[in-house]
Amino acid sequence: MTAAALRHDWTRDEVVALFALPFNELLHRAHSVHRAHHDPNAVQISTLLSIKTGGCPEDCGYCPQAARYHTGVKAEKLISMESVVARAQAAKQAGASRFCMGAAWRSPKDRDVVQVAEIVSAVKALGLETCATLGMLSGEQAQTLKQAGLDYYNHNLDTAPEFYDQVIHTRQYQDRLDTLEQVRQVGLKTCCGGIVGMGETRDQRAGLLQTLANLPEHPQSVPINQLVQVPGTPLHGTQALDPFEFVRTIAVARILMPQSMVRLSAGRQQMDDAVQALCFFAGANSIFYGEKLLTTGNPDVEHDRALFRRLDLHALEVVEEIDTVHTDILETEAVGSCGQSCGCAA
Ligand code: SAM
Ligand code: DTB
Ligand code: SF4
């Protein structure tokens, strides 16, 4: 399959029809799109750190960091630049190419953004790509972060517009779209996706992906999270999603946003290795790597290394828009951009 033109005019019916394809047909189509745009054996590695944990005033029904739910997460202040840099250094040594910093804010104060901007510059100086997720931003705040060297801003739409008010009541869908617009305006790349397994219908899963694909630009990174059910949150006890429906969601995301990195995000610890393998076949090409997400667990590093070996996957390092392969950490072969282990410099 050759690379197709990017579309921003998907109808709900078209997206629902993709979900409804026979499973093997859907995976074949998604994998064909994947191969036309990406090395099918390369997976980008991001490490996540919570730089300001808990005590959030929002009421997101899935989130252990909302102050109003009794989840056992202790509210903490913004951590020091030294601690972040030490964790970023360790992440780089462990093989991560991107370091993502998350803060449990509804929207940061200007003085918070100044502090985070200093942290971003220090992490960037280590040679890592930087990503931050701090809540809603003004245009000026986005500009401050851009100038500090931030590469990506993560701000998820989380679900379909029509399901949003069943999950979150303290802000509107439009607020999320507005922040994404500010972020794009200053030239930051967007990392934007959502959560599945929150009790939404298939039509609503299609609605999330339709909205993401119809944004003015496809988000460069699309994190697809499976709800991590945390006791004390309103969504704890929601009926779990059929794993094959999760794989379908990844496949449809790949078809709709062919050039984006589709990240198999939260929920991997609860996911069977075989399901993860299907997700990589269906077009997922990015993961969070490291034992913790923000407050919940992620697979052990050793487990992920073994999974990469079993599936012959290698870590992708992105250097100045040119994809190269990270060879030293995850015990992979050097691969030229021709996609083969032939030792060529292509
Ligand atoms: N406070 C900021 C915000 O909401 O944009 C940034 C941090 S927030 C924790 C980042 C994202 O984590 C959320 O948008 C949501 O998609 C994801 N998330 C939070 N709790 C989750 C859970 N229990 N399971 C899966 N994803 C979750
Ligand atoms: C995203 O889409 N998933 C990450 C990251 N962006 C910030 C967060 C997942 C959080 C899972 C729950 C927790 O660990 O607190
Ligand atoms: Fe706060 Fe973000 Fe959690 Fe919502 S998802 S409660 S905004 S930390």
Mean pLDDT of the chain: 92
pLDDT at 163 over 90: yes
Q: Is 29 a catalytic residue?
A: no
Per-residue confidence (pLDDT) for residue 195, from 0 to 100: 98
- Considering the candidates 191, 192, 248, 268, report the single residue annotated as catalytic: 191
pLDDT at 335 over 50: no
- Considering the candidates 60, 87, 268, 305, report the single residue annotated as catalytic: 60
Question: In this structure, are strands 98-103 and 261-264 parallel, antiparallel, or unpaired?
Answer: unpaired
Q: Is 191 a catalytic residue?
A: yes
Tell me how many degrees the CA angle 275-189-334 measures, rounded to the nearest 5: 55
Measured by CA distance, the residue closest to atom 11 of ligand 1 is 156
Indicate which atom in ligand 2 lies nearest the CA of residue 133: 7
227 within ligand 3 shell (Cβ under 6 A): no
Per-residue confidence (pLDDT) for residue 258, from 0 to 100: 98
Q: Is 60 a catalytic residue?
A: yes
265 within ligand 1 shell (Cβ under 6 A): no
Measured by CA distance, the residue closest to atom 13 of ligand 1 is 156
Measured by CA distance, the residue closest to atom 6 of ligand 3 is 66
Q: How long a stretch of residues is the chain?
A: 346
108 within ligand 3 shell (Cβ under 6 A): no
Closest alpha carbon to 200 in 162, 232, 256, 247: 162
Per-residue confidence (pLDDT) for residue 311, from 0 to 100: 98
pLDDT at 96 over 80: yes
Q: Quick one: what percent of the chain has pLDDT higher than 70?
A: 90
> Picking from 59-73, 264-278, 324-338, which range would have the lowest pLDDT averaged per residue?
324-338
- Considering the candidates 87, 176, 263, 268, report the single residue annotated as catalytic: 263
Per-residue confidence (pLDDT) for residue 5, from 0 to 100: 79
**Given ligand 3 and candidates 56, 198, 293, 295, which is best to mutate, with the most ligand atoms within 8 Å of its CB?**
56
pLDDT at 341 over 60: no
Q: Is 338 a catalytic residue?
A: no
Closest alpha carbon to 147 in 195, 103, 188: 188
pLDDT at 326 over 60: no
Q: Is the dihedral of CA 160, 165, 170, 172 positive or negative?
A: positive
pLDDT at 336 over 60: no
Measured by CA distance, the residue closest to atom 1 of ligand 2 is 223
Exposed e or buried b per residue across 328-345, where buried means at least 16 C-beta atoms within 10 angstroms of its C-beta: ebbebeebeeeeeeeeee
Token pair in block for residue 225? 């999270």
Per-residue confidence (pLDDT) for residue 3, from 0 to 100: 59
Find the ligand nearest to 158 CA. Answer: 1
What is the C-alpha separation between 23 and 244, in angstroms, rounded? 8
Distance 133 CA to ligand 2 centre (A): 9
Model confidence at 4, pLDDT cuts 50, 70, 90, reads low
3-state secondary structure of 29: helix
Q: What mean pLDDT do residues 92-100 have?
A: 93
Q: What mean pLDDT do residues 14-42 have?
A: 98
Q: At what angle do helices 202-213 and 12-19 cross, to 10 degrees?
A: 120
Measured by CA distance, the residue closest to atom 4 of ligand 3 is 60
Question: In this structure, are strands 189-191 and 194-196 parallel, antiparallel, or unpaired?
Answer: unpaired
Strands (E), 150-291: 152-154, 189-191, 194-196, 221-226, 261-264, 286-288
pLDDT at 137 over 80: yes
Per-residue confidence (pLDDT) for residue 2, from 0 to 100: 57
- Considering the candidates 29, 63, 192, 254, report the single residue annotated as catalytic: 63
62 within ligand 1 shell (Cβ under 6 A): yes
- Around ligand 2, the residues with Cβ closer than 6 Å are 48, 64, 100, 102, 133, 154, 156, 193, 223, 225, 228, 265-266, 293-296
- Considering the candidates 29, 100, 248, 268, report the single residue annotated as catalytic: 100
What is the C-alpha separation between 206 and 222, in angstroms, rounded? 14
Q: Is 192 a catalytic residue?
A: no
230 within ligand 1 shell (Cβ under 6 A): yes
What is the C-alpha separation between 27 and 209, in angstroms, rounded? 16
Over residues 34-44, the pLDDT tens digits come to 999 999 999 99
pLDDT at 143 over 50: yes
Largest CA distance in the chain: 56
Q: What mean pLDDT do residues 209-217 have?
A: 98
Token pair in block for residue 167? 């999950």
Q: What mean pLDDT do residues 138-152 have?
A: 98
Question: In this structure, are strands 98-103 and 129-133 parallel, antiparallel, or unpaired?
Answer: parallel
